[in-house]
């Protein structure tokens, strides 16, 4: 069995956080629900890089909005994928630090789950370097090409 992907889910609204946590857990994710941006930053600071698979947060939160949270989180862990959701569709221009922005009312839970699946799948780290394959031309083909060119 594959290990569950870990999502740090941040929202200052306890009900929204509870519903989102339930939605993600029923899809097989392990969720770390957090009610403040500051608490989320503490989690990220203490986590080993790569231990958290996704930061999912609301845009509008007290003390520190989601955009600032994502900016600071990426300073701590540059490879951490981040998704911001917001109740206002026209807030997309404010969510500039996130990898994905989703307006709450304008997207279905299924679309959110699919976007999360894609973001978490992309977070696999750098690809291993593969040595280039050298192709040796047979002597006959090389001689044939030389004869045709002449």
Domain boundaries, the chain: 6-149
Q: Taking residues 138-147, report their average pLDDT.
A: 46
Contact 95, 101 (CB under 8 A): yes
How confident is the model at residue 95, as a pLDDT?
65
pTM: 0.76
Please state which CATH class domain 6-149 belongs to: alpha beta
How confident is the model at residue 4, as a pLDDT?
87
Write out pLDDT tens, residues 18-75: 999 999 999 999 999 999 999 999 999 999 999 999 999 998 899 999 999 999 999 9
What is the H or E stretch that residue 116 is in? helix 109-122
How confident is the model at residue 33, as a pLDDT?
97
For 32, 72, 84, 89, the CA distances from 53, given in Å and listed in that order, are: 11, 16, 15, 26
Question: How sure is the predictor about 109, in pLDDT bands with cuts at 50, 70 and 90?
Answer: confident
Q: Are strands 82-86 and 54-58 parallel, antiparallel or unpaired?
A: parallel
């Amino acid at each position: 069995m594959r290990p569950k992907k870990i999502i740090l889910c941040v929202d200052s609204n306890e009900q929204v956080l509870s519903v989102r946590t339930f939605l993600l857990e029923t899809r097989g994710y392990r969720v770390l629900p957090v009610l403040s941006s500051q608490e989320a930053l503490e989690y990220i600071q203490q986590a080993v890089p790569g231990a958290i698979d996704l930061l999912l947060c609301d845009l509008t939160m007290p003390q520190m909005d989601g955009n600032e949270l994502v900016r600071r989180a990426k300073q701590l862990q540059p490879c951490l994928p981040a998704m911001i959701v917001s109740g206002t569709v026209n807030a997309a221009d404010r969510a500039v630090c996130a990898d994905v922005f989703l307006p709450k009312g304008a997207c279905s839970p299924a679309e959110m789950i699919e976007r999360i699946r894609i973001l978490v799948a992309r977070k696999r780290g750098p690809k291993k370097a593969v040595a280039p394959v050298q192709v040796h031309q047979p002597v006959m083909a090389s001689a044939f090409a030389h004869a045709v060119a002449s």
